[in-house]
């Protein structure tokens, strides 16, 4: 049974979700707290309430979701699972049956008929003494109910075998938290297909992210008690999987020679392809009377008990051991964060290992939630892996690999990747070597959801923004990218699109928001930055700060005055050569040389220098008043902070000074922040919320 379609309404963060899953691995990615695990819980709850395999499955799943408690199982808390407590919850799971499962159905008429007839009068067939059921089916009423149920089953067998689908439709009403289904045949059929398997096999299994792995010598049981625990561990109480770590291994060891061989082969496979440089030595009772599984480090020759492996390594062994031994062909596994406690090298190999050794050979379907960039990168490269992006709104959309090349290339040139775009709410590109660190300090509350990345040159960045916007027009842009530019002395000609947001600082650059003169004076007079050149009072400090900044005005005037002369260059342009003959190129290039020659011929050194200096003096006089009033906004804050160092002979690094300025601005005025801080925060907030 493979999950073909999931529709969820009003279940926790999932307001209105529809997703079509595929065979193989279905990878759910996205930031924290957007509903990835909730997707798994919706699938699990739907199955537990409508097609439970064990009598305790429904109850245990409700307890795990905080809908009820072991002490008061009759008291149900609807708000624990409802996004809106006033609206009903709907979870529809459409399962596609395998050919072998469809082939089993005609032989299940009697058991399905008895189950449905008993369920209609509230008689349990899968728990406790069956005396009441026996008496009921011996009565005329029971016999008629069985006849009716058999007719109903035969009619529905035709429907299901022709479509190959079963729909589990769960509705939960807010009034009293009442659970109900709409298709008793599909519900009973899926339950019976699972129940027909041995206790050590299942069509459905949930691997939680909460892996409480035992240490030491837990009680090891075999037989009926272990069989019951095995069934409960699939979905009813999935944490039992991890608590039964050694029990699972020793049960396989004593089951049969074939089981021992399968166990050893599984260990060899895991150690050869994932946990390399280790091998299984044997199973024994050690000299302390404890059950021991010996592992050898092939690199050092050291032998140790399996308990000495890390939590991540034990989790890998147990997960794949259970999948290989317990999941029936054509089954479905839900896995939450398989990368926990594992290094990136193992994460990189885990998904290919799962697909190659279990999903493809056994026709198993997997739905996997992950935060691992390595697993996501592997999924984007592999056949048989389908990637879905879960967004803040609880929506879920597929990532089509064929739509990505342009975006991937543009993002690589920007220093990020499509992986980061999917694992964070937003990737925000900023300019300047210290901007990323400063913004991370400024906004730590959003670090789990936003990734800041440094840019590497405005002209290239604007080019790649255009590339991303072109990809967006072609339907190839999945996530939103944000660009926060330095203003410099030039407004960009680019504007935001739906998925590529562009904003410039209102001041020259980020550092300009750190320049509060009184705060800067106090810092320079503190022990960390104080030198012999430190200003002794505010008046002196303000004058010297303004003079440091005024150096930039002179530099700007020199640049602007020279540009006003409009001297042409003799360098070659691309258009001068493309498609041109030698004769045509010679004409164009000499024409440019001649123009420059004519422009320069009347110039003499003395006259030009005099004219240049006069223009500079005039332009400074024209701009000086406005500069003196607004230099904090107009100067380059980066250069200003750099120029403070020779002026005051500062010893500590500029990066440290920027951090201190940021912190003082942020927490000034009893934690309200300075006006500069408020403007900085508002600019970032406006960008993200746009």
- What mean pLDDT is predicted for residues 488-500? 89
SS3 584: helix
Same structural domain, 145 and 172:
no
Domain assignment present for residue 5? The answer is no
Higher pLDDT, 91 or 278: 91
Report pLDDT for 661. 94
Could you say which of 326, 360, 390 is where a domain stops? 390
Please give the angle made by the CA atoms of 606, 607 and 613, to the nearest 5 degrees: 90
* Tokens describing residue 275: 């946990």
Domain assignment present for residue 207? The answer is yes
Same structural domain, 452 and 530:
no
Domain assignment present for residue 1? The answer is no
User: 441: which strand partners?
Assistant: none
Q: Which of 436, 395, 452 is nearest to 662 (CA)?
A: 436
Task: Give the least confident one: 191-195, 315-319, 447-451.
Answer: 447-451
Q: How far, in Å, CA of 112 to CA of 292, rounded? A: 45
CA dihedral for 459, 463, 469, 471, sign (positive or negative): negative
User: At residue 419, does pLDDT exceed 70?
Assistant: no
Report pLDDT for 128. 46
Mean pLDDT of the chain: 85
Q: How far, in Å, CA of 581 to CA of 40, rounded? A: 67
b/e map of 379-398 (b: 16 or more CB within 10 Å)? bbebebbbbbbbbeebbbeb
Residue with tokens 């405005």: 458
Secondary element (H or E) of residue 676: helix 675-689
3-state DSSP helix/strand/coil % of the chain, to nearest 5? 55, 15, 30
Using one digit for the tens of pLDDT, what is the confidence trace for 536-584?
A: 999 999 999 999 999 999 999 999 999 998 888 888 888 888 888 899 9
Same structural domain, 417 and 361:
no
Q: How far, in Å, CA of 468 to CA of 406, rounded? A: 8
Domain assignment present for residue 102? The answer is no
Same structural domain, 547 and 674:
yes
Domain assignment present for residue 136? The answer is yes
Could you say which of 337, 370, 390 is where a domain stops? 390
Same structural domain, 228 and 347:
yes
Confidence of residue 374 (pLDDT cuts 50, 70, 90): confident
Q: How far, in Å, CA of 370 to CA of 348, rounded? A: 12
For helices 140-163 and 184-195, what crossing angle results, to 10°?
90
Most confident option among 51-65, 222-236, 402-416:
51-65
Higher pLDDT, 621 or 687: 621
Domain of residue 133 covers 107-162
Same structural domain, 157 and 168:
no
Report pLDDT for 556. 93
Residues 6+ apart with CB under 8 A from 237: 56, 60, 64
Domain assignment present for residue 363? The answer is yes
Task: Give the least confident one: 6-10, 68-72, 455-459.
Answer: 455-459
* DSSP one-letter string for 504-558: E-SSSSGGGGG--HHHHHHHHTSTTT--TT--SSHHHHHHHHHHHHHHHHHHHHH
User: 25: which strand partners?
Assistant: 366, 385
User: At residue 596, does pLDDT exceed 90?
Assistant: no
Same structural domain, 573 and 668:
yes
Higher pLDDT, 222 or 356: 356
Q: Say what the pTM is.
A: 0.67
As to burial, measured by CB atoms within 10 angstroms (0-12 exposed, 13-18 middle, 19+ buried), residue 575 is exposed
Same structural domain, 347 and 275:
yes
SS3 457: coil
Most confident option among 40-44, 224-228, 380-384, 428-432:
40-44
Q: Structurally, how many domains does the chain consist of?
A: 4
Residues 6+ apart with CB under 8 A from 116: 149, 152, 153, 184, 185, 188
Same structural domain, 63 and 111:
no
Report pLDDT for 61. 92
Same structural domain, 69 and 194:
yes
Q: Which of 389, 321, 386 is nearest to 357 (CA)?
A: 321
Domain assignment present for residue 374? The answer is yes
User: At residue 379, does pLDDT exceed 90?
Assistant: no
User: 580: which strand partners?
Assistant: none
Report pLDDT for 96. 95
Task: Give the least confident one: 128-137, 561-570, 633-642.
Answer: 128-137
Report pLDDT for 299. 82
CATH assignment of the domain containing 343: 3.40.50.300
> Phi first, then psi: what are they for 154, rounded to 5°?
-60, -40
Same structural domain, 345 and 204:
yes
Using one digit for the tens of pLDDT, what is the confidence trace for 142-165?
A: 899 889 999 999 999 999 999 999
Higher pLDDT, 202 or 418: 202
Domain assignment present for residue 2? The answer is no
Confidence of residue 439 (pLDDT cuts 50, 70, 90): confident
Report pLDDT for 21. 93
Could you say which of 338, 369, 390 is where a domain stops? 390
Confidence of residue 438 (pLDDT cuts 50, 70, 90): confident
Q: How far, in Å, CA of 488 to CA of 48, rounded? A: 60
- For the sheet containing 426-430, what is the strand order? 450-454, 426-430, 481-485, 500-504
Same structural domain, 380 and 521:
no
Confidence of residue 619 (pLDDT cuts 50, 70, 90): very high
Q: Which of 399, 433, 392, 427 is nearest to 411 (CA)?
A: 427
Confidence of residue 614 (pLDDT cuts 50, 70, 90): very high
Using one digit for the tens of pLDDT, what is the confidence trace for 13-33?
A: 888 989 999 999 999 987 777
- What mean pLDDT is predicted for residues 581-591? 91
Report whether 39 contacts 390 (CB < 8 A). yes
As to burial, measured by CB atoms within 10 angstroms (0-12 exposed, 13-18 middle, 19+ buried), residue 254 is exposed
Secondary element (H or E) of residue 94: strand 89-96
Rounded to 10 degrees, the C-alpha dihedral 523/527/532/534 comes to 10
């Amino acid at each position: 049974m493979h999950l073909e379609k999931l529709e969820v309404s009003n279940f926790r963060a999932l307001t209105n979700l529809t997703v079509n899953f595929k065979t193989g691995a279905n990878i759910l990615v996205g930031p924290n707290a957007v509903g990835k695990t909730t997707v798994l819980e919706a699938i699990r709850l739907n199955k537990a309430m409508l097609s439970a395999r064990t009598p305790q499955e429904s109850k245990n799943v409700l307890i795990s979701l905080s809908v009820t408690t072991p002490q008061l199982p009759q008291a149900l808390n609807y708000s624990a699972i409802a996004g809106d407590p006033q609206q009903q919850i709907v979870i529809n799971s459409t399962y596609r049956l395998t050919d072998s499962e469809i082939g089993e159905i005609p032989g299940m008429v009697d058991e399905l008929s008895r189950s449905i007839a008993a369920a209609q009068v509230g008689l349990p067939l899968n728990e406790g003494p069956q005396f009441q059921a026996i008496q009921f089916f011996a009565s005329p009423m029971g016999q008629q109910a069985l006849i009716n149920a058999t007719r109903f089953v035969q009619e529905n067998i035709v429907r299901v075998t022709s479509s190959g689908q079963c729909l589990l439709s769960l509705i939960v009403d807010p009034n009293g938290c009442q659970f109900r289904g709409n298709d008793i045949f599909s519900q009973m059929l899926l339950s019976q297909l699972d129940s027909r398997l041995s206790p050590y096999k299942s069509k459905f299994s949930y691997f939680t992210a909460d892996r409480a792995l035992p240490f030491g010598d837990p009680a090891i049981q075999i037989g009926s008690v272990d069989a019951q625990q095995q069934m409960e561990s699939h979905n009813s109480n999935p944490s039992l999987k991890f608590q039964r770590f050694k029990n699972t291994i020793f049960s396989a060891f004593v089951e049969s020679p074939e089981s021992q061989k399968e166990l050893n082969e599984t260990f060899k496979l895991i150690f050869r392809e994932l946990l390399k440089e280790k091998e299984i030595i044997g199973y024994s009772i050690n000299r302390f009377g404890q059950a021991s599984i010996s592992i050898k480090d092939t690199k050092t020759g050291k032998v140790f008990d399996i308990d000495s492996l890390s939590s991540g390594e034990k989790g890998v062994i147990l997960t794949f051991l259970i999948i290989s031994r317990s999941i029936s062909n054509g089954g479905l596994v839900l896995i939450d964060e398989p990368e926990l406690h594992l290094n990136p090298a193992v994460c990189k190999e885990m998904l290919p290992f799962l697909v190659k050794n279990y999903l493809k050979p056994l026709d198993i379907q997997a739905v996997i939630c992950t935060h691992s960039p390595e697993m996501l990168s592997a999924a984007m490269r592999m056949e048989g892996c389908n990637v879905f992006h879960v967004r803040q709104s609880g929506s879920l959309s597929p990532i089509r690999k064929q739509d990505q090349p342009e975006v991937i290339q543009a993002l690589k040139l920007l220093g990020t990747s499509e992986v980061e775009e999917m694992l964070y709410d937003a990737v925000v590109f900023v300019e300047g070597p210290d901007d990323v660190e400063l913004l991370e300090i400024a906004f730590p509350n959003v670090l789990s959801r936003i990734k800041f990345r440094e840019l590497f040159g405005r002209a290239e960045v604007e080019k790649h923004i255009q590339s991303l916007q072109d990809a967006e027009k072609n339907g190839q842009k999945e996530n939103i990218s944000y660009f926060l530019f330095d203003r410099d002395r030039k407004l960009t000609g680019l504007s935001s699109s739906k998925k590529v947001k562009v904003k410039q600082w209102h001041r020259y650059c980020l550092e300009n928001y750190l320049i509060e003169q009184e705060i800067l004076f106090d810092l320079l007079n503190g022990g960390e930055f104080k030198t012999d050149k430190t200003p002794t009072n505010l008046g002196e400090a303000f004058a010297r700060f303004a003079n440091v900044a005024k150096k930039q005005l002179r530099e700007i005037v020199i640049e602007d005055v020279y540009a006003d002369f409009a001297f042409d260059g003799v360098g070659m342009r691309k258009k001068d050569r493309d498609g041109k003959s030698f004769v045509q190129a010679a004409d164009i290039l000499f024409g440019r040389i001649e123009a420059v020659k004519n422009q320069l011929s009347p110039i003499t050194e003395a006259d030009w220098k005099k004219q240049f200096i006069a223009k500079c003096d005039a332009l400074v006089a024209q701009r000086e008043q406005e500069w003196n009033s607004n230099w904090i906004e107009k100067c380059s804050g980066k250069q200003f902070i750099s120029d403070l160092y020779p002026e005051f002979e500062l010893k500590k690094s500029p990066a440290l000074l920027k951090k201190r300025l940021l912190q003082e601005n942020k927490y000034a005025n009893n934690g309200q922040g300075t006006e500069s801080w408020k403007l900085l925060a508002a600019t970032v907030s406006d960008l993200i919320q746009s």
